[in-house]
Amino acid sequence: MKSVIGIAANQIIQSVDVFNGNHVSYTPQGFVTAVQNAGGLPIVLPIGAEETAEAYISKIDKLLLAGGQDISPDFFGEDPHPKLEETNRNRDLFEIALIKEAVKQKKPIFAVCRGMQLLNVVLGGTLYQDLSLYPDWKVKHGQQPTQPQFATHGIQIEKASSLYPLLGEDYRVNSYHHQAINKLAAPLKIIAKSSDGIAEAIESVDAKQRILGVQWHPELRFDIESKEFNLFDYFVNQL
């Protein structure tokens, strides 16, 4: 029986000139393909009403949270900083409801980039709205214009973690974020950091609540770097 993987979707508005402003629910193809290659059955969960989260989570085996917009800062008690970028409150509310239901129903969660940050917020943590607010910022965490298939900075992984058997102690990642974990939520622990101390991966303190989050984008490199695929294989088949 294939594990059913619910991937929380994003939403864009297509060009008015070409597509008349058509609204599209989507997730990056890399997530879909990686889950399929790992033997999972991916299902995209479109942004919807918060009260539908319970039904969605009950129909899947595991939840995957993708990257995307900044998180609305009022969810962690702050006003918007001048360097805050695009937010989507409907997406925030829906994914918050999904996370709460997944925790309640004891469904495993794999969270990528924004997904990792939102997970931290939902469980009681806070974020740096921009890395310029982090006093020890020394590493370029947004690698544009370098292409995503290239890893650009190193991370150090804790030996007593779920990541260590998959990636080793020293690993290099791609990087596309200007926000980061500030106060860590109590149910979580940091299992990887960059050289300037930014949280690069987290997991649950309680082994019974199976949670893994990474700050980089394995869906953009899994087809050329086998260790990135290891993350999806672990999520679909073990987490």
Task: Give catalytic status of residue 101 as yes or no.
Answer: no
pTM for the structure as a whole? 0.95
Annotated catalytic residue, options 101, 200, 219, 228 = 219
Task: Give catalytic status of residue 219 as yes or no.
Answer: yes
Ranges of residues in the chain whose predicted pLDDT is under 50:
none
What is the rounded CA–CA span in Å between residue 174 and residue 194?
Answer: 12
Counting the structural domains of the chain, the total is 1
What is the rounded CA–CA span in Å between residue 191 and residue 200?
Answer: 8
The CATH number for 222's domain is 3.40.50.880
pLDDT score recorded for residue 18: 58
Annotated catalytic residue, options 113, 153, 177, 200 = 113
pLDDT score recorded for residue 19: 66
What's the domain range around 45?
4-237
148: tokens are 């995503």
pLDDT score recorded for residue 12: 79
Query: Which residue type is seen at 150?
Result: F
pLDDT score recorded for residue 207: 87
What is the rounded CA–CA span in Å between residue 181 and residue 178?
Answer: 11
Annotated catalytic residue, options 141, 153, 177, 217 = 217
pLDDT score recorded for residue 16: 56
pLDDT score recorded for residue 144: 94
Residues 129 and 121 sit within 8 Å (Cβ to Cβ): no
Contacts for 90-93: CB closer than 8 Å, 24+ residues apart: 90/11, 90/47, 91/10, 91/11, 91/47, 92/118, 93/50
pLDDT score recorded for residue 22: 76
Task: Give catalytic status of residue 113 as yes or no.
Answer: yes
Given the DSSP bridges, would you call strands 188-194 and 127-128 parallel, antiparallel or unpaired? unpaired
